[in-house]
Chains A and B, each alone.
Chain A
Amino acid sequence: MDLYLEFFKKTFQERYVYRFDFYISIVAGFISLSVQLSIWTALYHNHASINSITLPDMLKYIVVSTFVTVITASGVGRKIAERVSSGAIVSDLIKPVNFKYYLLAEDLGNNLFQLLFVFIPTFLIAVLVYGVSLTVEPFAFVCFLFSLTIGIFISFHINYILGLLAFWLHTSWYLSFVLAAFNELFSGSFVPLWFYPKWLYAISSWLPFKLVYFDPISIYIGKQTLDGTIKIIGLQFVWLLILLAIERIMWTRAQHKLIIHGG
């Protein structure tokens, strides 16, 4: 654990060196948040509420969704692909470190940095400029944090599994586009699933992406009953187990694959 904390700290410090980069990120983050907040305000122009969701609910949803995007971002797919094609993966496997947890620690270090130095300033500007309210019931907040934590692990494992595909594919840069498409369509990161047509909602509920975004956020907004919340958390555990099983199988095979290539 201490070792991974060290990786976490190192990544954080590395990011801190490139300070100019994060000033830029704050401005970019603010613009992208502004686009979304303005669009939803325009959409709600003639509607008091749609499917009993009001504009303040929706603005809250967007800000929380941006927060989830920041905290679940992952560079794992790209990192594994680079290491496989450069051969550096061999030395990664020799190190007495769990490869997966090492990558997870790096992701978390990056994301925490992004959260403190990019998201929080962006979000403060948004609150001042757009007057978004983020009030939340204390109990809902605790449930949200719990569910979000499982969501972070789900999201990491999806990225990690996709990254492992690099062992089998010659080029894998396009996988990130496929993942982005799935994430955008089925997670509710941009358009909440309340507004989806039935068929699209049905597909989304068979996939894990909405457990990372839509479900935790809807807990935060206070649109879930206690039963609904318990169901979400149960389903999250089930999906996490499925993903862990897939990952375990692929990882064993990937190591064999490496030996076949002669390391």
Chain B
Amino acid sequence: MHYIGLYIEFIKLKIMGVAEYRKSFLLGALAQAAAYGAEFLLIWVLVDKFQSVHGWGSYEVMFLYALNLASYALAGFFLFTPCTQLSFMIKNGSFDEILTRPLNSFLYLISKEFNSAYISHLLLSIFIIFICFHQLGIALTFVKWMGLLVCLLGGALIQGAGFVATSVPAFWFVETQGLRNIFFFQLRNFIRYPVSAYNKFVQIVLTLLLPYAFINFYPSQFFLEKSDFMMFSPSFQYGCPFVGLLLFGLSYWFWNVGINHYKSTGS
């Protein structure tokens, strides 16, 4: 509870900071929205030209990308800065300072460093989600509204687990940018398109080993009323929140293991 109060204080400070540089913040948000808007447009152009990818039409593929981007933005909002800065903080010794505080280091870092730039990703992708629902003629019932909320939070937990799990090795090796690039950013690129379009090996990896498919591919089948489950059970469409909680729990446990192992670089 104590942390929520702290978090609100930090958010206030950040908003004051943003208000100070309003123009730069707005231009930045617009530029990022333009870059991601371009990606949505290209997905639409491409899939529309070929009519479908493995049975998924252009708005369905855009929906996949929108779920991916929205949950990434939710996770990035809290975790991007602390996770990408962790190696730097270990290198220059400022992480040691955090350990001396009478607070949970993980929660303290998250509340201290949130990244407001993700607002533009989030707004853009939510806008696209509604366009897709509209174009596909799918009615947004109460159940689907709630489902969307749960799925975005669950997806954010999976993405957050990806952020944390690829940062914790910094307690052993200091530098983790390459790891994060491969296991989080590059491999996650596969879920921009329906996972069923890839070969079996990729399908299994994305479902069981690095379950990024639960961020968008499986839940989308619930929202878009599809049944494209490859060799897996249709119940996977409800898996997103459970996988999210499990993975985030595991990554938090991993964080604690890392902290216990951590020996300062001495700088």
Contacts and interface: CB of A to CB of B under 8 A. Distances in A.
Interface of A: 20-21, 24-25, 27-28, 31-32, 35, 38-39, 42-45, 47, 50, 170-171, 173-175, 177-178, 180-182, 184-185, 190-191, 195-197, 200
A185 B181 contact: no
Contacts of A47: 50
Given A28-B182, A195-B46, A177 B31 contact: yes
A195 B45 contact: yes
Contact of B46 (A20, A24, A32, A43): A43
Given A184-B42, A196-B45, A20 B193 contact: no
B45 A24 contact: no
Contacts, number: 92
B138 interface: no
Interface of B: 21, 24, 27-28, 30-32, 34-35, 37-39, 41-42, 45-47, 49-50, 53-54, 178-179, 181-182, 186-187, 189-190, 192-193, 197-199, 202
Contact of A39 (B28, B34, B37, B53): B53
B186 A28 contact: yes
A55 B192 CA distance: 20
Contacts of B24: 170-171, 174
A195 B45 CA distance: 8
Contacts of A50: 49-50
Contacts of A21: 178
Given A43-B50, A177-B34, A191 B197 contact: no
B202 A38 contact: yes
A174 B25 CA distance: 9
Contact of A177 (B35, B42, B197): B35
Contacts of B41: 185, 200
B34 A178 contact: yes
